[in-house]
């Protein structure tokens, strides 16, 4: 029977109702006759207790009660494994939908923790109950600096948190113990999380300063280009239109080049314009005199 135990446990998760019921009945006979170690079966039984089907939950809970009476010290050593198995079972049921750690099964609409059946057996003994609460709260104790998304399952953390929030606590001591366990984890994890956030914020501020500087430089360059375009628009004086006619680039003089640079910078030099006009007038006069002499 040990040889086929893994396949039997897999069949209890099968979506086919008839196969699931048969697998549970076979598993019940195996447990009743002691043909398999209880530690191998308890995670699957706890997972089936979270099923949305009432008949399946009842069968699994009866098996859990039997193991709790006969092998309590053994099965409670696998509490965290049981919670992880329950999460995997819920993940299989909901497919791509978000996984929740509670269900609404009463007319009043109050949420009920999926791990309530398991907790109802654990809370009979104070020490076992406290050990269980400590062990599942410790699932949040991880190094935020060294870990990444591949090592931390956010969905599992959410599943555990919702179960802790909706478990049917019977005394104030249970609630205070959960708060105590959470504070112990926060005293370690929260400090490393704070340092990580502060370091990332500093890096982000440096990156934003560099981006803002680059953006300012680009905006200034854009303003300079726009100013240059406006200064060289048709309604502005142009070197090539000084004499009322177009000039070829090859015919430009040094004064033209200087005038271009002055216009680009937005500086007006009327004296230079007058000098250019006087020089051109003198050249025209000299050409006219030479023509008269030739005649």
Q: Determine what percent of the chain falls in helix, strand and coil, rounding each to the nearest 5.
A: 75, 0, 25
Tens digit of each residue's pLDDT (9 = 90 or more) over 72-101: 888 988 999 999 999 999 999 987 788 899
Helix spans in 49-171 (H): 54-70, 72-75, 79-94, 116-122, 126-137, 154-166
pLDDT tens for the 295 residues of the chain, in order: 678 899 999 999 988 888 999 999 999 999 999 898 999 999 999 999 999 999 999 999 999 999 999 998 889 889 999 999 999 999 999 877 888 999 988 777 889 999 999 999 998 899 999 999 999 999 888 776 666 666 778 899 999 999 999 999 999 999 999 999 999 988 888 777 777 777 777 766 665 666 666 666 666 666 555 665 555 555 444 444 444 444 444 444 555 555 455 544 444 445 555 565 666 677 777 777 777 666 5
What is the pLDDT, as a whole number, of residue 137?
Answer: 94
Closest CA relative to residue 231, chosen from 262, 275, 187:
262
DSSP H or E segment with residue 26: helix 17-33
- What's the pTM? 0.65
Domain ranges of the chain: 2-170, 236-294
Separation between Cα atoms, residue 75 and residue 65, nearest integer Å: 11
30 contacts 66 by C-beta, under 8 angstroms? no
Give me the sign of the Cα torsion angle 260, 261, 265, 266. negative
Residue given tokens 């501020």 in the structure block: 205
Separation between Cα atoms, residue 127 and residue 72, nearest integer Å: 12
């Amino acid at each position: 029977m040990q040889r086929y135990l893994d396949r039997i446990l897999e069949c209890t998760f099968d979506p086919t109702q008839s196969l699931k019921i048969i697998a549970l009945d076979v598993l019940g006979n195996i447990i009743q006759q002691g043909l398999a170690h209880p530690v191998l079966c308890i995670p699957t039984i706890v997972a089936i207790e979270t099923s949305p089907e009432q008949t399946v939950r009842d069968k699994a809970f009866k098996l859990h009660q039997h193991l709790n009476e006969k092998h309590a010290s053994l099965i409670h050593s696998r509490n965290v494994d049981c919670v992880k198995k329950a999460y995997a079972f819920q993940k299989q049921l909901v497919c791509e939908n978000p996984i929740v750690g509670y269900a609404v099964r009463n007319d009043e609409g109050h949420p009920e923790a999926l791990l309530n059946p398991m907790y109802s057996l654990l809370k009979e003994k104070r020490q076992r109950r406290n050990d269980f609460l400590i062990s599942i709260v410790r699932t949040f104790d991880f190094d935020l600096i060294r870990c990444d998304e591949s090592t931390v399952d956010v969905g599992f953390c959410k599943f555990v948190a919702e179960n802790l929030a909706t478990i049917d606590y019977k005394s104030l001591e249970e609630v205070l113990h959960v708060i105590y366990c959470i504070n112990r984890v926060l005293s370690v994890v929260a400090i490393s999380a704070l340092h990580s956030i502060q370091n990332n914020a500093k890096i982000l501020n440096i990156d934003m300063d560099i981006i803002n500087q680059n953006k300012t430089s680009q905006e200034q360059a854009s303003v300079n280009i726009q100013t240059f375009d406006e200064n060289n628009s048709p309604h502005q004086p142009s070197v090539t239109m000084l004499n009322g006619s177009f000039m070829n680039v090859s015919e430009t003089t040094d004064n033209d080049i200087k005038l271009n640079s002055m216009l680009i910078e937005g500086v007006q030099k009327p004296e230079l314009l007058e000098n250019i006009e006087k020089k051109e007038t003198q050249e025209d006069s000299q050409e006219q005199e030479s023509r008269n002499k030739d005649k």
